[in-house]
Amino acid sequence: MRELVQQLNFFGELGVTHLNLKNLNRVPTLPEIREEMGECTRCKLHRGRQNIVFGVGNPEADLMFVGEAPGADEDAQGIPFVGRAGQLLTRIIQSIGLQREQVYIANILKCRPPRNRDPEPDEVESCEGFLFQQIQAIDPLLVVALGRYAAQTLLQTQTAISRLRGKFYPYRGGLLIPTFHPSYLLRNPRAKREVWEDMKAIRAKLTELGSSYYAP
């Protein structure tokens, strides 16, 4: 408090007579976050990328999907989940009566790791703040973490995805539910049954929370 008073006195000496406290803790918008990211060189992944993959969808979405990092198709187009796994994700979204455009889709990393290797800790550290800002701007009712890597990173746990999935966890002012990654489903089609269970739980939770998606 004493430091704050000193700061304010200092501003006063500089001739400041009005402070706009309304803007003091304003949440940045998605375009502002993208602008802050710029032509990012904060980590080594910028060297190999074609495009930054920021995110797509409804800036006021009730439901947000978070994957791991762009793959080759996403890197080429600058849009998340547009390859084979992405087409499956689109159908998973449609399975609960929603369109891709109604939700928001992003990744923890905005640039493609070489040969799609797992993100490295320094890359996550450089990049995750932008995802947190996106979540704050969108303020979704639910975040869906896609796959082991996103679930363990966002929840800061080493628990297996098979144990994490299908449950709701308090997360950044809302709830987070992990499910299997669509790439995993392409390799293990029988796991689609669990993802369908998770999607039904997501639809029920959105309804319970009064989401406009399912308003009568």
Is 55 a binder of ligand URA (CB under 6 A)? no
- The residue (of 135 and 211) whose beta carbon lies closer to ligand URA is 135
Of 7-15, 66-74, 119-127, 202-210, the window that binds ligand URA (rule: CB under 6 A) is 66-74
| Residue of 54, 61, 63, 70 that binds ligand URA (CB under 6 A) | 70
Query: For residue 53, with 0-12 CB atoms within 10 Å meaning exposed, 13-18 middle and 19 or more buried, which class applies?
Result: buried
Spatial contact of 180 and 165, defined as CB atoms under 8 Å apart: yes
Q: What share of the chain is helix, strand, coil (3-state, %, to 5)?
A: 50, 10, 35
- The residue (of 58 and 183) whose beta carbon lies closer to ligand URA is 183
b/e code 111-148 from CB counts within 10 Å (16+ = b): bbbeeeeebeeebbebbeebbebbbebbebbbbbbbbb
Residues 6+ apart with CB under 8 A from 75: 49, 50, 51, 53, 111, 112
Number of shown-chain residues binding ligand URA (CB under 6 A): 18
Angle at 69 between CA 108 and CA 93, to 5 degrees: 85
- The residue (of 62 and 68) whose beta carbon lies closer to ligand URA is 68
Is 67 a binder of ligand URA (CB under 6 A)? yes
Q: How far is the CB of 81 from ligand URA (least distance, A)?
A: 4
Is 71 a binder of ligand URA (CB under 6 A)? yes
Is 147 a binder of ligand URA (CB under 6 A)? yes
Query: What's the start-to-end Cα distance of the chain, in Å?
Result: 50
Is 109 a binder of ligand URA (CB under 6 A)? no
Element (H, E) at 207: helix 192-208
| Residue of 107, 133, 134, 153 that binds ligand URA (CB under 6 A) | 107
Amino acid identity, position 139: D
- The residue (of 33 and 69) whose beta carbon lies closer to ligand URA is 69
Helices (H) and strands (E) in the chain, counts: 9, 6
149 to 188: interface string for ligand URA, x by CB under 6 A: ------------x------------------xx-xx----
Positions that interact with ligand URA (CB under 6 A): 67-71, 74, 80-81, 85-86, 107, 147-148, 161, 180-181, 183-184
